[in-house]
Amino acid sequence: MSVAARPQLSHLRALESEAIHVMREVAAEFERPVLLFSGGKDSIVLLRLAEKAFRPAPFPFPLMHVDTGHNFPEVIEYRDRRVAELGERLIVANVQDSIDSGRAVEETGPRASRNRLQTVTLLDAIAEHGFDAAFGGARRDEERARAKERIMSFRDDFGQWDPKNQRPELWNLYNGRIHKGEHARVFPLSNWTELDVWEYIDQECLEVPHIYFAHERKVFERDGMLYAWREGTELIEGEEIFEETVRYRTVGDMSCTGGVRSHAATLEEVVLEIAATRITERGETRADDRVSEAAMEDRKKAGYF
């Protein structure tokens, strides 16, 4: 057969098609799905995939953001604008509410972070709204424990993940059966890499929050990472605030997400930078994964994203 007869379905189109298939399976087989939208690049891609899967109809699920109260203001502004453009419903679950009601206890000291507390708020919100499936933007290339996670991943009635006892996942046949109180986490981007995500954002001309591009910012250095300084940040002795040109590779809570020195100011430059990088995104920017060799695995077992 001649070369011309080969289909021109790029790897991005193949990944896109797989993700759309996953989303429609969930819509069809679960009663009350929800899509977790943080305003970060991965969940921005999820929203575009949902448009591709369900338009011209509205999404058959609401969006939800677990807000630590320490998010970048630019990202929150972007989140609300994007939701309004789509005309979809957004639920905001606040970590502050969990703290106020005594469900979660705030950490103290200069290294305090609300990262762990998000799990409480997330699981409470899932229970409160009766969600039985939650789409997340996690990818298997991000982290070693995630490399073992299923596309449709079962959570017991405590929200826990049991990595040694996962359902086998064969062909493209997903077993979405659960009992009441249990739920599934669904990761349509499982097989995407960070570079795929950026190439897709570029291909689809998706807007992303400005903090993904190089900008001047007041930062301080801690544990080899550059953190954004904001009013109220407690510094440790020896730390200084200085201006630096940075961009963010991941967008999470300000208290545990570091920026990288970069001059990549356009999508094209970001794609080139990611294609050439020698450090993983979590290794470079996330303090939460540096706690131990299995930090992510431990948080995931407890019900984290």
Partner 1 sequence: MTLDLLRFTTAGSVDDGKSTLIGRLLYDSKQVFEDQLEHVAQASERRGGEGALDLALLTDGLRAEREQGITIDVAYRYFATARRRFIIADCPGHRQYTRNMVTGASTADVSVVLIDARRGVLEQSRRHAFISALLGIPEMVVAINKMDLVDYSQERFEELVEEFEGFAHRLNGVKQISYIPMSALDGDNVVERSQRMPWYDGLVLLEHLEQVEVAYDHPNEKPARFPVQWVIRPSGAAGGEDYRGYAGQLASGGLRRGDEVAVLPGGARTRIAAIDTYDGELEEAMAPMSFALRLEDELDISRGELICHPDEAPSVGRALEADVCWMTDEPLRTGSRYLLKQTSRNATTVIDAIEDLVNVHTLERAPAPQELTLNDIGRVHLRTSVPLVFDPYASNRRTGSFILIDEASNRTVGAGMIAAAA
Q: Give the total of residues touching partner 1 (CB under 8 A).
A: 65
- Least CB distance from residue 183 to partner 1, whole Å? 12
Query: Positive or negative CA dihedral for 46, 49, 55, 61?
Result: negative
Q: Which of residues 224-243 bind partner 1 (CB under 8 A)?
A: none
**Span interacting with partner 1, options 33-41, 65-73, 249-257, 275-283, rule CB under 8 A:** 275-283
Return the number of the residue (32 or 52) whose C-beta is nearest partner 1.
52
Asked if 45 and 189 touch (Cβ cutoff 8 Å), the reply is: yes
Residue number, 103 or 301, with CB nearest to partner 1: 301
Single out the segment in contact with partner 1 by CB under 8 A; choices: 115-123, 125-133, 137-145, 236-244: 137-145
Residue 142 near partner 1 by CB under 8 A: no
The single residue among 105, 112, 283, 291 that binds partner 1, judged by CB under 8 A, is 283
Instruction: Assess 191 for contact with partner 1 (CB under 8 A).
Output: yes
Q: Where are the beta strands (DSSP E) in the chain?
A: 33-36, 63-67, 90-94, 133-135, 152-155, 183-186, 215-222, 225-228, 242-247, 258-261
Distance CA 261, CA 255 (A): 18
By CB under 8 A, which span of 36-44, 89-97, 116-124, 174-182 interacts with partner 1?
174-182
Burial (CB count within 10 angstroms: exposed 0-12, middle 13-18, buried 19+), residue 222: middle
3-state SS class at 63? strand
Q: Binder to partner 1 among 163, 235, 243, 268 (CB under 8 A)?
A: 163
Residue 85 Cβ vs partner 1, minimum distance, rounded to whole Å: 14
51 touches partner 1 (CB under 8 A): yes
Question: Of 7 and 238, which has the nearer Cβ to partner 1?
Answer: 7
The footprint of partner 1 on residues 67-106 (CB under 8 A) is none
Which is it for the CA torsion 245, 248, 249, 255, positive or negative?
positive
CB 112 within 8 A of CB 70: no
Identify the residue among 108, 179, 231, 232 touching partner 1 (CB under 8 A): 179
Q: Does 20 bind partner 1 (CB under 8 A)?
A: yes
CA distance 192 to 176: 22
Distances (CA, A) of 191 to 11, 54, 94: 11, 21, 30
> Any contact of residue 266 with partner 1 (CB under 8 A)?
no
Let me know how long the chain is: 305
Q: CB of 97 within 8 A of CB of 121?
A: yes
Q: How far apart are CA 91 and CA 81, in angstroms?
A: 14
Residues near partner 1, by CB under 8 A = 1, 5-11, 13-18, 20-21, 24-25, 27-28, 51-58, 140-141, 144-148, 163-164, 166-173, 175, 177-179, 190-191, 193, 195-196, 199, 277-280, 283-284, 293-294, 297-298
